[in-house]
Amino acid sequence: MSDKTLFPARLAIAIGLPLSFLMASAVQAVPSGFDEFPYTPRSTMEGLSDLPCIEGMAGDFQCHGVDLLAYVPLEDMGCEGNGNDIWGWTDPETGTEYALMGCNNGIAFMDLSDPEQPVHVGNLPSHTEGSLWRDSKVFDDHAFVVSEASGHGLKVFDLS
């Protein structure tokens, strides 16, 4: 896998989910005092940005070499409820990094040109019903999107 399909560790962006959903291999993140779902009350997450990982903590989150740079609520990305997966893509022509956020109603795209202030640029809606699980992976400038929703199948989206 090329380095263009993964975020550098510094670009972990909290997008409406605990960091464990974002960088599962690098971070175990559960906010202090929250042990079970739902454990991310919006009121406790507002204004989180640029929190370095120091001695295993980035603010209230456990971390291991990953900084929390920004928090974007799911509703600000057009998600109607749950979020469940995140992947990244780097535009080979501009170098701009994007986050692809799996939502119950489709995929949200976030421009990470300024990782401390991500910008919602659009959504790829589901053509079936909402679903708790929606995953995307990127290969060769294409996003491959799957869901367990009945009739969803595999969506291929040209990112270029």
Q: What is the model's pLDDT at position 144?
A: 95
Q: What is the pLDDT along the chain (160 residues), one digit of tens a residue?
A: 343 333 333 334 444 443 333 333 333 344 444 444 344 444 455 567 788 999 998 887 788 888 988 888 889 999 988 898 899 999 999 999 999 999 999 999 999 999 889 999 999 998 888 888 888 999 999 999 999 888 888 999 999 9
pLDDT of residue 65: 87
Phi-psi region of 152 (alpha: psi -120 to 50; beta: other; left: phi over 0): alpha
- Whole-prediction pTM: 0.69
